[in-house]
Amino acid sequence: MAGADRRQPARHSLPGGLVLSHLRTLIASLGVFYRTPFSSLMTSAVLGIALALPAGLYLILVNIQQLGAGWDGTARISLFIKRSVPDAEAAQLARRLRQWPEIAQVTFRTRAQALEEFRRHSGFAGALRALKENPLPAVIIIQPTRRHSEPRAIAALLERLRQLPLTARAQLDLQWVKRLFSIMEIGQRAVHVIAGLLALAVLLIIGNTIRLDIQNRRDEIIIAKLIGATDAFIRRPFLYGGLWYGLIGGALAWLMVEVAIGLLAGPVQRLATLYASQFSLTGLGLLPGLTLLGIAALLGLAGSWLAVRRHLSAIEPT
Amino acid sequence: MIQFHHVFKRYPGGHEALSDVSFTLPRETMAFLTGHSGAGKSTLLKLVSLIERPTRGQVLVDGVNLGATRRRRIPYIRRRIGMIFQDHRLLYDRTVFDNVALPLVISGYRHQEIARRVRAALDKVGLLGKERLYPVTLSGGEQQRVGIARAVVNKPPLLLADEPTGNLDPALSLEIMHLFEQFNQVGVTVLIATHDLGLVQRLGHPVLTLDHGRLQADARLPEPA
């Protein structure tokens, strides 16, 4: 085939030419959104909703985790000091505790500070004034390191703290932490299941859309095969079509989630203020957003690949 | 350019479209393939363009034994064959330019080269001013010329035409045939299937006649090897 060789210089040199050819197809495959804007956008919107659901659930989880960040994902131990112990001695204990390897952070509150805080937050200021002396003990709030936050380690730490001579009482909200963690675990599992199902839905929607597209362009495929198009060349626009559906669906999902967050932010803020919390809703953010786009694009590519593999080879000129 | 050695083609269901067909079509020849409908003309062309495979026998095109060609090599063989169809097989949602450019896009030519070659091909078939139009706005003869431009834009050494003038009036048919003669004069091998015997006789090129799948070759063609 000498003729083919003679023509070679007029063609792209690989791989630059292949990249350019891919790019050309990538842009050209956007054409479907231009030619049939309504149905393409409908499909994208369906994909967007299907993707927005797991993304939104994920975001709710993230926000609950943030709400729980008051506990920092770890437990806290409140070490109440015997009331007979002077503040200076208790402060010294706090400094000593800070040296323990299993403790990340120590906050010391004198009896006066504890009283002041109670007065400010509880609304019992009047009642407190009636008391002759401060009924509150000094308290050392201890936050274990993350490594020592798992239930068994924290129980051991709690036991050691109880043995200290100055300790009146060491209290751990372990039950609460346990419950929160197990609720979050269920939530996470649920998000994974729902995300898996909806990913499957996205895969099938895109696969079906591309299948219809292949059927609509049957004549074109036959003609291209007749004049020497390789399978890869014919496959390419459909694969990129799926990629675009995924990407645009993902972008719509991102938008929907951000709009929903925007709508909820105000009421949540007001509720948080009522609970004297600094909490505010977080949006998806750049990195998770890009991850969403990436997953959507991959689903699009996979869905169209399934359709292409099943239906394209069946079309041959006769 | 084309060699058939004892080629049989039996379709599933038992219909024998070609039986014991042998002939040689030398390089740079222009020849007609005639016969009544169902005589096997289309089947013969399909064997050359690898749309169908022979049940028995050997088909060689440009020295390549098609029987040994694997599926993934087929596109590269087809790029060396310009095919023209009775129903034109154009893409009706693309302009004339895009239709003619398709073989070059498939082969991965550079943009400027594509534009140059498409214009040259359209110039040859006399459609230079119409590259931006859509095929539906053209007459039947013009559409067929778009199909011819698409077939020759790649400069293939072999042109196959299946009833290219089937839907055209005699004057237009003659015009199309003269176009094929022009390509033949610059060295392209041309094989045209047609049942328009008057036209075939008038033009005086070698003729292959099929009758119920059996071939009678013209004395002007060499004896099959």
Type of residue found at A218: R
Contact in structure between B50 and B82 (CB atoms under 8 Å): no
Question: Whole-angstrom Cα distance, residue B5 to residue B47?
Answer: 12
Percent of chain B clearing pLDDT 90 (strictly above)? 68
pLDDT on residue A175 = 66
H or E segment to which residue B215 belongs = strand B214-217
- Give the distance, in angstroms, between the CA of residue A227 and the centroid of all CA atoms in the same chain: 49
Same domain, B87 and B74: no
Domain annotation covers residue B45:
yes
Q: Is residue B181 in some structural domain?
A: no
> pLDDT per residue over A285-306, tens digit each?
889 899 999 999 999 999 999 9
Residue A228 with chain B: CB contacts under 8 Å = 75-79, 103, 106-107, 154
- Does residue A16 register a pLDDT over 70? no
How is the beta sheet containing B56-61 ordered, strand by strand? B16-25, B2-10, B56-61, B64-65
| Cβ <8 Å between B75 and A230 | yes
Q: Which two tokens stand for residue A204?
A: 């099938």
- Residue % of chain A over a pLDDT of 70: 89
Residue B96 has pLDDT above 90, yes or no: yes
3-state secondary structure chain A: CHHHHHHHHHECCCCHHHHHHHHHHHHHCCHHHHHCHHHHHHHHHHHHHHHHHHHHHHHHHHHHHHHHHHCCCCCCEEEEECCCCCHHHHHHHHHHHHCCCCEEEEEEECHHHHHHHHHHHHCCHHHHHHCCCCCCCCEEEEEECHHHCCHHHHHHHHHHHHHCCCEEEEEECHHHHHHHHHHHHHHHHHHHHHHHHHHHHHHHHHHHHHHHHHHHCHHHHHHHHHCCCCHHHHHHHHHHHHHHHHHHHHHHHHHHHHHHHHHHHHHHHHHHHHCCCCCCCCCCCHHHHHHHHHHHHHHHHHHHHHHHHHHCCCCCCC
Q: Which residues contact B164 (CB under 8 A, 6 or more apart)?
A: B84, B85, B86, B144, B147, B148, B176, B180, B192, B194
CA-nearest of B17, B73, B24, B25 to B47 is: B17
Give the gap in angstroms from C-alpha B82 to the nearest C-alpha of chain A: 7
**Domain co-membership, B120 together with B145:** yes
Q: What is the DSSP letter of B32?
A: E
Do residues B218 and B162 share a domain?
A: yes
Smallest Cβ–Cβ distance between B78 and the set A4, A11, A228 belongs to A228
Instruction: Tell whether the model's pLDDT for residue A9 goes beyond 80.
Output: no
Percent of chain B's residues with pLDDT above 70:
99
Task: Inspect the interface and report whether the beta carbons of B108 and A11 lie closer than 8 Å.
Answer: yes
B58 and B131 share a domain? no
DSSP β-bridge partners for residue B160: B83, B191
Of B62, B90, B109, the CB nearest to A11: B109
Evaluate whether B196 touches B202 at the Cβ level (below 8 Å).
no
* Rounded CA separation A318/A6 (Å): 31
Per-residue pLDDT at A3:
40
Smallest CA–CA distance, residue A316 to chain B, in Å, is 8
Mean pLDDT of A163-191: 80
Neighbouring C-alpha atoms within 13 Å toward the C-beta of A166 = 20
Range of the domain at B32: 1-80+158-168+189-225
C-alpha–C-alpha distance, residues A62 and A53, integer Å: 14
Q: Could you tell me the pLDDT band of residue A316, with boundaries at 50, 70 and 90? A: confident
Count of CA atoms in the C-beta half-sphere (13 A) of B53: 9
Q: What is the pLDDT of residue B155?
A: 92
In this structure, whether the domain defined by A75-172 belongs to CATH 3.30.70.3040 is answered with yes
B103: nearest CB among A3, A227, A317: A227
Q: Cβ–Cβ of A229/B76 closer than 8 Å?
A: no
Q: What ipTM, to 2 d.p.? A: 0.90
Q: Token pair of A235, please?
A: 């496959």
B183 falls within a domain: no
Q: Is the pLDDT of residue A84 over 50?
A: yes
Over the Cα atoms of chain B, what is R_g? 17
Asked whether residue B21 carries a pLDDT value surpassing 50, the answer given is yes
Question: Is position B28 within any domain?
Answer: yes
The CA distance from B182 to B176, in Å, is 10
Do residues A300 and A243 lie in contact, with contact meaning Cβ atoms separated by under 8 Å?
Answer: yes
Judge whether residue A248 has pLDDT over 90. Answer: yes
pLDDT at B3 (0 to 100): 93
A151, pLDDT greater than 80:
no
pLDDT tops 50 at residue A274? yes
| Residue found by looking up tokens 């932490």 in the block | A177
pLDDT of residue A69: 58
Cα-based angle A28, A33, A35 (whole degrees, multiple of 5):
85
Q: What is the mean pLDDT of residues A218-240?
A: 91
CA distance A101 to A165: 20
Count how many pairs of residues, chain A against chain B, have C-beta atoms within 8 Å. Answer: 73
Residues in chain B: 225
Nearest CA in chain A to B157: A3
* Mode of pairing for the β-strands spanning A167-172 and A77-81: antiparallel
Contact B66, B77 (CB under 8 A): yes
Report residue A129's pLDDT band, with 50, 70 and 90 as the boundaries. confident
Choose the final residue of a domain: B155, B177, B202: B155
A224·B106 Cβ contact <8 A: yes
Same domain, B129 and B43: no
In a shared domain, residues B74 and B162: yes
More confident residue, A132 or A221: A221
Q: What is the mean pLDDT of residues B190-210?
A: 91
Burial class (CB in 10 A: 0-12, 13-18, 19+), B178: exposed
B106/A225 touch (CB, cutoff 8 Å), yes or no: no
Mean pLDDT, residues A198-220 taken together: 90
Rounded Cα distance, B209 and B39, in Å = 9
B102 and B144 in a single domain? The answer is yes
Strand order in the sheet with B207-211: B81-84, B158-162, B189-193, B30-34, B207-211, B214-217
Q: Do A231 and B72 touch (CB under 8 A)?
A: yes
Tokens 């590259």 belong to: B131
Q: Tens digit of pLDDT for each residue in B38-92?
A: 888 999 999 999 999 999 999 999 888 998 888 889 999 999 999 999 888 999 9
Contact assignment for A228 to B91 by CB distance below 8 Å: no
Every domain of chain A and the residues it spans: 29-69+180-311, 75-172
What the block records as the tokens of B172 is 């237009």
Q: For residue B10, is it within any domain?
A: yes
B173 in any annotated domain: no
Whole-number Å distance between alpha carbons of A139 and B218: 113
B86, B102, B111, B162: best to mutate for the A interface, most A CBs within 10 A: B102
For B25, residues 6+ apart whose C-beta sits below 8 A from its C-beta are: B1, B2, B3, B31, B189, B191, B208, B221
- Same domain assignment for residues B68 and B136: no
Residue scoring higher pLDDT (A73 or B103): B103
Residue B66 sits in the same domain as residue B163: yes
State whether B107 and A11 contact (CB < 8 Å). Answer: yes
* Interface contact flag, A228 B76, Cβ < 8 Å: yes
Distance of CA B216 to the CA centre of its chain: 20
Task: Tell me what the mean pLDDT of segment A219-243 comes to.
Answer: 91
CB contact under 8 A, A227 and B76: no
Residues B75 and B162 reside in one and the same domain: yes
Same domain, B38 and B99: no
Contact status, residue B189 vs residue B159, Cβ threshold 8 Å: yes
Same domain, B23 and B131: no
Whether B175 maps to a domain, the answer reads no
Is residue A139 scored above 60 in pLDDT? yes
Mutation for testing the A interface, residue in B51, B73, B95, B100 having most A CBs under 10 Å: B51
| Residues A210, A242: Cα–Cα separation, whole Å | 7
User: Which tokens belong to B149?
Assistant: 């431009």
Residue appearing with tokens 């214009």: B119
CATH code of the domain in which B5 resides = 3.40.50.300
Answer yes or no: is B217 within a domain.
yes
Segment A239-266 mean pLDDT: 92
Overall number of domains in chain B: 2
Strand residues in B12-90 grouped as ranges (E) = 16-25, 30-34, 56-61, 64-65, 81-84
- Give the pLDDT score at A155: 82
